[in-house]
Amino acid sequence: MKKIILSFLVYLSIAYSYAQTNARDSLKQLLQKEKTDTGRALLLNKLSFEYFESKPDTAMSLALEALSLAQQEGFEKGKAESLNRIAIAYDVFGNYPKAMELLLEALQINEKINNLEGIRRNYNNIGNLYIEQEDYQQGLDYYLKAKSLAESSNDKKSLSLTYVNIAEAYFFLKIFDSARSYANRANDVAVEIDYPRIIGTSLSSLGNIHFLREQNTLALEYHRLSIPYLRISENYVRLSETFLDIAKVFQKVGQKDSALSYARRSLLLAKETGFTKLVRDAGRFLSAYYRNMRIQDSAYFYQDVTKAANDSLFNQQKTRQLLSLAFDEKLRQQEITASELKTEEERKNNLQHAAIVVGLISFILLFFILSRSIIVKEKFIKFFGIVGLLAVFEFINLYIHPYLGEITNHSPFWMLAILICIGALLVPLHHKLEKWITKIMVEKNKKIRLEAARKTIATLEPSFANLSSKALGKDEASGGEGKQTN
């Protein structure tokens, strides 16, 4: 039976690893096909997330590329998501102030556009930063904010993640009942949606909680239960930590051989995956273990391992600081480019608005000129009067639209409501102006046509009079000759 279970877990591990690789390949294929910059920005951010646990440098580069595209297009949601990803990378590099700065910037953008999912992510990541800096209460406060948003959207994947974060915060605050409650809730939701990552993490958290409450048997059971799920989800950071936690439990209950075995497994996994901090922690445990066993050679050996890991961490910190400076400069250059593009876009919009105003004025002047012509018919005046008024009102709508977006935070409901109110005011005014203008212009056109007709008649009257006189004289002459012959 054990062999069957082991085989099944190996199969799940292989399947999950394949799914992760396949997810990256699928995203890369979608990127090649995607034509829009906004679509590419979203895909790049998704791909960036896939690399954070293995290649944070690659994750940062992808997020920066996404940010550049989002800024060029004025895509606020994409910009906020990119800043969130970049902040996570700075967190991995240990640059907490820069990570916090970018997260707060992303949060402001998400609040402005009312992107609740983005706000929830920002809250969770801000909470993570506070926890890493051992400000556990502040971290808990942000986790609770994220929890409210996850519950309102009924996003169970996000909810399970937030629950396990809250459990960790309560654990560090040593409020173990609350920590256990939230770890269990995280596990329940994760099991419901089959989310191995959070199942493994929540079980490991429960193990730590029971260990600090000196419930060693339960602690050991929960840690062992977490291992298959951590393997399946490739959460090797937590798996290495769990191996070391199990070693501590065995050490406490006096099973020294088992403690040594799990501590070595923790160290080996940390070395294989390149988690230097975990190499240091496991090396420190093993050095103390052999020192207590009075095996000095091994104690010194692992002491050297610990020292080498510390030195490496220091060098990595310096390297990451240099990388952070380079990324800062790249980010600054992107902001300059985005600012220049925005200025150019505003200039083009201003020119287009000016052209529209000139066009409207020209149309109105042409309308008044043509309305004075006697060859223009009444229907023509009415038609172009309506067109002119519609053009003016549509220009007003076009001009105020950006301001409406700022006032309403681009809320479709409020923008539609305000436009309906404006329309309700403009329609009656439009009809009154239409009647007034067309009446005036039509009547004026009639007067012009009538006056032109009178002038024409006045000009032609002398000619008609001469013709009449000549015709009358001719008739008289004809009448005299007739009498003589008769």
Write the CATH number for 194.
1.25.40.10
Claim to verify: residue 366 and residue 403 sit in the same structural domain: yes
SS3 134: coil
Exposed / middle / buried, residue 470 (Cβ in 10 Å: 0-12, 13-18, 19+): exposed
- Answer whether 38's CB lies under 8 Å from 67's CB: no
Claim to verify: residue 224 and residue 288 sit in the same structural domain: no
> What is the secondary structure of 85-111 as a DSSP string?
HHHHHHHHHT-HHHHHHHHHHHHHHHH
Claim to verify: residue 239 and residue 198 sit in the same structural domain: no
Looking at 114, 142, 159, the residue that finishes a domain is 114
Both structure tokens of 268:
């080996």
Is the pLDDT at 23 greater than 60? The verdict is: yes
pLDDT of residue 9: 43
> What is the secondary structure of 334-375 as a DSSP string?
HHHHHHHHHHHHHHHHHHHHHHHHHHHHHHHHHHHHHHT-TT
The band of 139, judged by pLDDT with boundaries at 50, 70 and 90, is very high
* Tens digits of residue pLDDT in 245-268: 999 999 999 999 999 999 999 999
Is the pLDDT at 45 greater than 80? The verdict is: yes
From 34-43, 220-229, 231-240, 338-347, the region with the lowest mean pLDDT: 338-347
Please give the residue that has the higher pLDDT: either 354 or 475. 354
Is the pLDDT at 115 greater than 90? The verdict is: yes
What is the distance between the alpha carbons of residues 371 and 380, in angstroms, rounded to a whole number? 9
Claim to verify: residue 358 and residue 411 sit in the same structural domain: yes
Claim to verify: residue 199 and residue 285 sit in the same structural domain: no
In a domain, 91, yes or no: yes
In a domain, 334, yes or no: no
Instruction: Give the mean pLDDT of 95-107.
Output: 88
Query: How many domains are there within the chain?
Result: 4
The band of 367, judged by pLDDT with boundaries at 50, 70 and 90, is low
Largest Cα span, the chain: 173
pLDDT of residue 22: 61
Q: How far is CA 367 from CA 115, 217, 388, 389, 430, in A?
A: 48, 92, 8, 11, 17
What is the distance between the alpha carbons of residues 78 and 58, in angstroms, rounded to a whole number? 18
Claim to verify: residue 445 and residue 412 sit in the same structural domain: yes
pLDDT of residue 110: 93
Is the pLDDT at 298 greater than 80? The verdict is: yes
Instruction: Give the mean pLDDT of 72-92.
Output: 88
HSE toward the beta carbon, residue 107, CA cutoff 13 A: 18
Claim to verify: residue 218 and residue 240 sit in the same structural domain: no
In a domain, 293, yes or no: yes
Looking at 64, 97, 114, the residue that finishes a domain is 114
Claim to verify: residue 173 and residue 242 sit in the same structural domain: no
In a domain, 318, yes or no: yes
Both structure tokens of 112:
């402005």
Looking at 234, 268, 303, the residue that finishes a domain is 234
Claim to verify: residue 449 and residue 390 sit in the same structural domain: yes
SS3 156: helix
In a domain, 310, yes or no: yes
Which positions ≥6 away from 133 have C-beta within 8 Å?
96
Question: Across the chain, what does the average pLDDT equal?
Answer: 78
pLDDT of residue 440: 59
What is the distance between the alpha carbons of residues 217 and 253, in angstroms, rounded to a whole number? 9
Claim to verify: residue 157 and residue 215 sit in the same structural domain: yes
* Portion of the chain with pLDDT greater than 70, in percent: 62
Claim to verify: residue 95 and residue 156 sit in the same structural domain: no
Claim to verify: residue 372 and residue 314 sit in the same structural domain: no
The band of 236, judged by pLDDT with boundaries at 50, 70 and 90, is confident
- Counted residue by residue, the chain has a size of 486
* Portion of the chain with pLDDT greater than 90, in percent: 37
Rounded to the nearest 10°, the torsion over CA 75, 78, 81, 87 is -70
In a domain, 158, yes or no: yes
In a domain, 470, yes or no: no
* Tens digits of residue pLDDT in 391-421: 666 666 666 666 776 677 667 777 777 767 7
Radius of gyration of the chain (CA): 41
For residue 246, the enclosing domain spans 235-324
In a domain, 12, yes or no: no
